[in-house]
Chains A and B, each alone.
Chain A
């Protein structure tokens, strides 16, 4: 599923990385614990869905090569955070939907969770 599709399913706005929306994401991860993200993201084409908007989301995503992050519940990060993402080529989206509906809708449209892919 490319990020255009994610954007459309979640009715999301693009905060940065408009030029990278053709990129494919294969898996979804809904999570606010960055240690968990560090520990469990194995696949590079993962979309991270989170309610956290701190710089650590970007540093963590960069560490495990996550290329797309969607903030839920209408959250938007500060400009500093957007700058960090821009520098690292990470797409940022923001949706009004809560995390529950965001994961639900993407799963229904065929995006996989992490363990399913590995198994």
Chain B
């Protein structure tokens, strides 16, 4: 176990209370029961010791060893009250687990009865196994919470105070690298999620950026997508040095495409790219020069 883990567990031993770890459903015997009754209970419940209880008050404890002694001395028909260990170490339910651990070290008993501090009645029993289970459970829970915290969306525009906050994300897109096409938009999606942007806004931005990314990969040797996230809008700017779009009006018509067949077979290039971008954004501008490249800008208002 590394140092951080062990100190964390120690910390939890101080935080956890006995009542969290104890077994509430306690199997007990009465003082008037016989040692044979004890044996049957120990065997059926697969445990090695039982509290002896009279009217809710614990008066002793009886264990496998006590039973073995009775057999050796031929006293197995005798009553529990004559064979129990009367001096009982117990613990209160509101104590910290660390106290139980120290008690286990001190007394070497297998279990301690748990009493309620006010009523002094028996309300549970605790073994080493219970302690370990409880600590591990808490440890796991805290670990998961910590992980969740790490991934938790922070609402950047509420957390950061300024007169104007703009978060700029830059994605370099390699041309013709179809295998990775869509990856950058996928990164953008998780980035926006973590910034606490509403999912419907993210969806529109990501759909438009995915089409943009495809266009850059299909038609050019590469380009750059820059995303400006502000409190009231997200603006995306895509620049490439590709062949340019000769007829933008035509390119905006649904179904119009100059994509090669291999692109169509990949499920893109069916002439829906630019129309999709237009449909999902609030503003869209294209500047393109044949032989020089294209500059596409779109905005989704928040």
Smallest Cβ-Cβ distance to A59: which chain B residue:
B182
A59 → B minimal CB distance (Å):
3
Smallest Cβ-Cβ distance to A39: which chain B residue:
B276
Q: A34-B268, A35-B268 are in contact. Are A60 and B279 (CB under 8 A)?
A: no
Q: Is the CB of B182 within 8 A of A56?
A: yes
| Binary flags per residue of A39-63, CB closer than 8 Å to B gives 1, else 0 | 1000000000010101111111011
Residue A22 interfacial (CB < 8 Å):
no
Residue B146 interfacial (CB < 8 Å):
no
Q: Is the CB of A64 within 8 A of B266?
A: no
Interface size range of chain A in the complex: 20 to 34
Q: Give the number of residue pairs across the A-B interface with Cβ within 8 Å.
A: 71
Query: In the docked arrangement, what's the CA distance between A57 and B181, Å?
Result: 10
Query: In the docked arrangement, what's the CA distance between A23 and B196, Å?
Result: 25
Residue B185 interfacial (CB < 8 Å):
yes
Q: Is the CB of A33 within 8 A of B182?
A: no
Q: Which of A56, A63, A65 contacts B266 (CB 8 A)?
A: A56
Stretch at the interface among B13-21, B47-55, B204-212, B238-246: B204-212
Question: Which residues of A lie under 8 Å from residue B210 when comparing CB positions?
Answer: 38, 59-60, 63
Residue A32 interfacial (CB < 8 Å):
yes
Residue A36 interfacial (CB < 8 Å):
yes
Smallest Cβ-Cβ distance to A42: which chain B residue:
B203
Q: Is the CB of A63 within 8 A of B272?
A: no
Query: In the docked arrangement, what's the CA distance between A60 and B206, Å?
Result: 9
Q: A35-B276, A38-B276, A39-B272 are in contact. Are A63 and B267 (CB under 8 A)?
A: no
Question: Which residues of B lie under 8 Å from residue A35 when comparing CB positions?
Answer: 211, 214, 267-268, 270, 272-273, 276
Question: Which residues of A lie under 8 Å from residue B266 when comparing CB positions?
Answer: 34, 52, 54, 56
Residue B186 interfacial (CB < 8 Å):
yes
Query: In the docked arrangement, what's the CA distance between A37 and B136, Å?
Result: 45
Question: Which residues of B lie under 8 Å from residue A65 when comparing CB positions?
Answer: 199, 203
Which chain A residues (13-33) contact chain B, with CB distance < 8 Å? 32-33
Query: In the docked arrangement, what's the CA distance between A111 and B273, Å?
Result: 29
B158 → A minimal CB distance (Å):
24
Q: Is the CB of B185 within 8 A of A59?
A: yes
Q: A55-B180, A63-B189 are in contact. Are A34 and B267 (CB under 8 A)?
A: yes
Q: A63-B186, A63-B189 are in contact. Are A52 and B267 (CB under 8 A)?
A: yes
Q: Which of B179, B182, B270 contacts A36 (CB 8 A)?
A: B270
Residue B183 interfacial (CB < 8 Å):
yes
Question: Which residues of B lie under 8 Å from residue A34 when comparing CB positions?
Answer: 266-268
Q: Which of B180, B186, B270 contacts A62 (CB 8 A)?
A: B186
Query: In the docked arrangement, what's the CA distance between A38 and B209, Å?
Result: 11
Q: Which of A55, A57, A58, A88 contacts B179 (CB 8 A)?
A: A55
16 A-B residue contacts at CB 8 Å?
A: A35-B214, A35-B276, A36-B270, A38-B276, A39-B207, A52-B267, A54-B178, A54-B179, A55-B183, A56-B182, A59-B181, A62-B186, A63-B182, A63-B203, A63-B206, A63-B207
A-B pairs, top 7 by smallest CB distance, nearest first, are A59-B182, A35-B272, A34-B267, A63-B206, A38-B207, A56-B182, A39-B276
The interface of chain B, by Cβ under 8 A from chain A, is 178-183, 185-186, 189, 199, 203, 206-207, 210-211, 214, 266-268, 270, 272-273, 275-276, 279
New A-B pairs, 11, CB < 8 Å, besides A63-B182, A88-B186: A35-B214, A35-B276, A36-B270, A39-B275, A50-B267, A52-B266, A54-B179, A54-B267, A56-B267, A60-B267, A65-B199
